[in-house]
Structure 1
Amino acid sequence: MLSTLERYFEFRQLGTNWRTEILAGVTTFLTMAYIVLVNPAILSAAGVPIHAATAATCLSAAFGSLLMGIVARYPIALAPGMGLNAYFTYTVCLKMHVPWQTALGAVFISGVLFLALTAAGIRQMILRSIPHELYAAVASGIGLFIAFIGFRNAGLVVADPATLVSLGNIRNPATALAIFGLILMVALEVKKVRGSILIGVVAVTAIAWSIGLVHWTSQSIGIHDLTQTALQLDLRGALSRGLLEIVFVFFFVDLFDNLGTLVAVTKRAGLIAPDHSIPRLNRILFADAASTIFGSLSGTSTVTSYVESTAGVAAGGRSGVTAIVAGLMFLLAMAAAPFVGLVPNAATAPALILVGSMMLATITEIRWHEPLVAIPAFLTLVLIPLTYSIANGLGFGVIAWAVLHLATGNGRRQDWLLYTLAVLFALRFIYLGAS
């Protein structure tokens, strides 16, 4: 039995073994386990029951990771995406006043669209049409967006009628505790401690509880709590409200996020083919799409690949067993659900700030000395947090890239799909301006 599994997961070709794969899977889980605490906290701001959101987070992460490991056989773990959950809550639900059930319907539709376009090969074409620098700018822009939300939740950045934003009161106990949490997480990260973010969240939560900043009533939580969110998505509402813009954002952001993670993990693991292609790409995209559909049905925002999977790869993980182990760990993590009510903003805010800062690493991939590249990348990077919209930043970046290249005579016939995307984005802005 074990020998059959070893052949299926290509242990000999990849130079790995069971011990290495299991340790790598646990490492991957520890580096991304913070999502079990952070994602429910973010979704609860949109009105999603926090205990049900926790169960949905664990279940969808387990499903996605297991599917990726078994079907695609890659050491890539999945979970509800950071950035996408923030967009779901703060833009779609709170800013646009869309009920969370309807927003889940939009996520489901985007997942079905993922699946259909993957089967038709169109998703792969879109991946190839977007310049690499815009991928990097989107990732960095989302990082700034997440960090900004973290600063706001920590009380470090507050609204100001004169200057739009201003520095908050650092003498506020919750704000001071958030600062301490950020310092602790960064220190652990510098020391290469596995699970540094999770340790920081738990430590700050314990301190907040001990000094009376948290008011919590114990409540039994289990898989039965999923009844509050499972199959509660409002498809009719998503279609009748004309939420194609939201579906568009969920689709493209997940598309870019998944590609960046895929490239990062496969490069680190040495799994890219000699011709620079990625083996079993369709299976990877299928696992991603199916996981998003499953996540929306269980009650969480878009499920996507996690770049923290590179931690497992660094620990030696090379096969799908790494992802399978991480998925099983997420199932076990559901037992911690009763304690999520203990987690205050002071604990999750520094996690958002740190994750946001880590996502800025891709900024070095942008050729800042070339205006044709730098200007579209800059617009993408800056407008995502400043307009509080991933769609706006992405749209302006694609449009600027297309217009500048065409205006300077650098347009290429093979970039027709990019120009088509630019026209679609332009029509979106015209539509929003008229509404």
Structure 2
Amino acid sequence: MEKALEKFFHLEERGTNVRTELIAGATTFVTAAYILAVNPSILSETGMPQGAVFTATVLISFIGTLLMAALTNYPFILCPGMGINAYFTYTVCLSMGYSWQTALTAIFVEGIIFVILSLTNVREAIFNAIPMNLKLAITSGVGLFITIIGLKGSGLVVPSPSTLVTIFSVHSSIANGTFATAGITAILALVGIIVTAILVCRNVRGNILLGILITWSLGIVCQFAGLYVPNPDAGFMSLLPDFSHGIAIPSIEPIAFKLDFSNIASVGFLSVVLAFLFTNLFDTIGTLIGSASKADLLDEKGKLPNVRGALLAESLATTFAGLIGTSSTATAVECTAGIAQGGRTGLTGVTCAILFLLSLFLSPIFLAIPSFATSPALVVVGFMMFGAVTKIEWGTPTEAIPAFIAIVAMPFMYSIAEGISLGIISYVAINATTGADNRKKISAVMWVLFALFCVKYFFI
């Protein structure tokens, strides 16, 4: 068995072995398993059944990760992207008013386009054409966007008529009688952020998932103590897993193959597809670069061999995601945890994929995890992604200013797509007008993207 694995995954060639790969795969799963709780929580706000989304999330993580292992032999995993699911819910469905069926159709169409582009040199060309500083800025901006989503979901950040947003007031919750729901959950979320941060600082394996479980456990203690009182009408559910129906796997029938093509000819639908397309592209590219660098998989020119295989795996997984009922996949940054444990081949991914599939039988547990327990994970993942900001060339204004615009636009405009659009527009505009040397830095692909985004803002 070990010889067969060695032959298929080329373990010795990558300086690893079966035991190391299995441990790395388990570490990646433990680190990324919070996605199984967070993704259903976010997408359910569109009206999608949370149980069905959980099953779809597990299945697409299993399928996508196996595809990545088969097509690349890299230790990367594919899961629903934590930025793209927020865009799916809060921008496309809640802000723009599209149904989740239409949003899934956009994901499916995006996936088909991605597959076509991945079979050509287009996506590789984009991968190589986008300036590194802008790639880093996109990663950092998505980190901030995820952070504000987490703070909002935790209840720590609330709307304010005078300052747009403000911090939750415990005193006011006591006065108006909501401390047993909104008040205690906000406090628990803050405790969860601190606990998760401590675990990260102490390099505890599976720190994010452990932070979720600790925060959730504290909530259960509060429920037993009467400090937390479930109020389903106000959105505060019981924190105890419901095993009354056994360990039956929630059906994906309510959301699978529910595509709605009625808006496919509209300009608005096209803009959503493009937004998904570019957001997903840059999210995947950024993670691939960072993860491959950490695993020493980049060649001497800084390129990733067989990047086409990685992009094709992500494209196929995104297409399947739209069909079975979840947001598009992306290479998860959490795979770096397994890489840090020595994972270097697709055996890491296969191990993680199998563990994803086994988690189907634990759905009552994952579905009982509340948003105040998963919000700290979003904040900490946001922190991890924001770390890319330190690699930006801040001493070069023509690089730094577009990067800054892309970063701040995402949280302040509450849209990943706007940050990407404005970052590209500002990069081309600034460098095109500040000398011949700077103009030479602008590739033909960047000019095309600049034109497309200008058309979007000024004519659509």
- TM-score of the pair, normalised by structure 2: 0.90
Contact 2:432 2:442 in 1 (8 A): no
Hey, what's the Cα distance between the residues in 1 that align with 2:84 and 2:360? Answer: 22
Superposition pairs for residues 346-361 of structure 1, below 5 Å? 346-361=372-387
Superposition pairs for residues 136-147 of structure 1, below 5 Å? 136-147=136-147
Structure 1 residue aligned with 2:104: 104
Hey, what's the Cα distance between the residues in 2 that align with 1:39 and 1:382? Answer: 24
Hey, what's the Cα distance between the residues in 2 that align with 1:257 and 1:164? Answer: 28
1:425 and 2:453 correspond: yes
In the alignment, which of 381, 395, 406 is matched to residue 369 of structure 1? 395
Moved more, 212-221 or 174-183: 212-221
In the alignment, which of 244, 261, 265 is matched to residue 235 of structure 1? 261
Contact 2:2 2:18 in 1 (8 A): no
Contact 1:76 1:309 in 2 (8 A): yes
1:222 is displaced (CA, Å) by: 4.2
Tell me which amino acid in the other structure corresponds to 1:210. V
Tell me which amino acid in the other structure corresponds to 1:162. S
Q: RMSD across aligned C-alpha pairs, in angstroms?
A: 1.7
Structure 2 residue aligned with 1:248: 274
SS at match of 2:94: helix
Residues 21 and 164 (structure 1), Cα distance of their counterparts in 2 relative to 1, 3 Å cut: same
Tell me which amino acid in the other structure corresponds to 1:181. G
Hey, what's the Cα distance between the residues in 1 that align with 2:349 and 2:133? Answer: 28
Structure 1 residue aligned with 2:234: none
1:241 is displaced (CA, Å) by: 6.6
Tell me which amino acid in the other structure corresponds to 2:440. R
Structure 1 residue aligned with 2:166: 166
SS at match of 2:114: helix
1:266 is displaced (CA, Å) by: 1.6
Contact 2:249 2:361 in 1 (8 A): no
Hey, what's the Cα distance between the residues in 1 that align with 2:170 and 2:207? Answer: 24
1:317 is displaced (CA, Å) by: 0.8
Contact 1:103 1:238 in 2 (8 A): no
Moved more, 119-128 or 48-57: 119-128
1:325 is displaced (CA, Å) by: 0.5
Structure 2 residue aligned with 1:273: 299
In the alignment, which of 186, 193, 197 is matched to residue 197 of structure 2? 186
Tell me which amino acid in the other structure corresponds to 2:202. K
Hey, what's the Cα distance between the residues in 2 that align with 1:309 and 1:423? Answer: 35
Contact 1:382 1:393 in 2 (8 A): yes
Structure 1: stretches of 5+ with no match in the other structure: none
SS at match of 1:273: coil
SS at match of 1:7: helix
SS at match of 2:439: coil
Contact 2:196 2:207 in 1 (8 A): yes
SS at match of 1:96: coil
SS at match of 2:387: helix
Hey, what's the Cα distance between the residues in 2 that align with 1:406 and 1:193? Answer: 47
1:65 and 2:65 correspond: yes
1:42 and 2:42 correspond: yes
Structure 2 residue aligned with 1:206: 217
Hey, what's the Cα distance between the residues in 1 that align with 2:170 and 2:355? Answer: 37
SS at match of 1:211: helix
Structure 1 residue aligned with 2:6: 6
1:235 is displaced (CA, Å) by: 3.2
Structure 2 residue aligned with 1:87: 87
Structure 2 residue aligned with 1:197: 208
1:379 and 2:390 correspond: no
Residues 337 and 67 (structure 1), Cα distance of their counterparts in 2 relative to 1, 3 Å cut: same
Contact 1:156 1:170 in 2 (8 A): no
Hey, what's the Cα distance between the residues in 2 that align with 1:333 and 1:241? Answer: 40
Residues 334 and 239 (structure 1), Cα distance of their counterparts in 2 relative to 1, 3 Å cut: farther
Structure 1 residue aligned with 2:176: none
Hey, what's the Cα distance between the residues in 2 that align with 1:235 and 1:64? Answer: 25
Structure 2: stretches of 5+ with no match in the other structure: 172-182, 231-236
Residues 337 and 431 (structure 1), Cα distance of their counterparts in 2 relative to 1, 3 Å cut: farther
Structure 2 residue aligned with 1:323: 349
Tell me which amino acid in the other structure corresponds to 1:173. I
Hey, what's the Cα distance between the residues in 1 that align with 2:209 and 2:4? Answer: 36
Structure 2 residue aligned with 1:129: 129
Residues 160 and 224 (structure 1), Cα distance of their counterparts in 2 relative to 1, 3 Å cut: closer
Hey, what's the Cα distance between the residues in 1 that align with 2:455 and 2:266? Answer: 20
Residues 413 and 317 (structure 1), Cα distance of their counterparts in 2 relative to 1, 3 Å cut: closer
Hey, what's the Cα distance between the residues in 1 that align with 2:121 and 2:216? Answer: 46
Hey, what's the Cα distance between the residues in 2 that align with 1:309 and 1:428? Answer: 35
1:170 is displaced (CA, Å) by: 4.0
Q: Matched residue pairs, number?
A: 432
1:334 is displaced (CA, Å) by: 1.2
